[in-house]
Amino acid sequence: NAGVTQTPKFQVLKTGQSMTLQCAQDMNHEYMSWYRQDPGMGLRLIHYSVGAGITDQGEVPNGYNVSRSTTEDFPLRLLSAAPSQTSVYFCASSYSITPSNQPQHFGDGTRLSIL
């Protein structure tokens, strides 16, 4: 059971480039989400999805797009990379959004540097 798998683990981009961070889970979870982790700021929600075909914005969605064509996959796209998007990105999933006492399962992260 792989859990939540994120690729790539590391990436360096130039300002203005675009790229897609991949996230896949094999637990048949309905709820998936993307966070960014910055020093001293905890984790902040970028986008989330409550099921295939349904996505919504979190706290810091600007500059990012998502789609959810299957239950398993939830890619995050950077449209035009900016240095402010240098961060560690985590994908997480849980079985559903209710009951709300379900813990989320996290991938190991993608460390992204924008030059």
Partner 1 sequence: AQSVAQPEDQVNVAEGNPLTVKCTYSVSGNPYLFWYVQYPNRGLQFLLKYITGDNLVKGSYGFEAEFNKSQTSFHLKKPSALVSDSALYFCAVRDGRGSTLGRLYFGRGTQLTVWP
Interface residues toward partner 1, by CB under 8 A: 4, 31, 33, 35, 40-45, 48, 50, 58, 90, 92, 94, 97-98, 100-101, 103-109
Contacts for 48 with CB less than 8 Å, ≥ 6 apart: 31, 32, 33, 34, 55, 56, 58
**Helix (H, G, I), strand (E, B), or coil: what is residue 84?**
helix
Cβ(35)–Cβ(89) below 8 Å: yes
Q: Which residue's CB is nearer to partner 1, number 81 or number 107?
A: 107
Q: Closest distance between partner 1 and the C-beta of residue 69, in Å?
A: 20
Question: To the nearest whole angstrom, how small is the minimum distance from the Cβ of residue 51 to partner 1?
Answer: 11
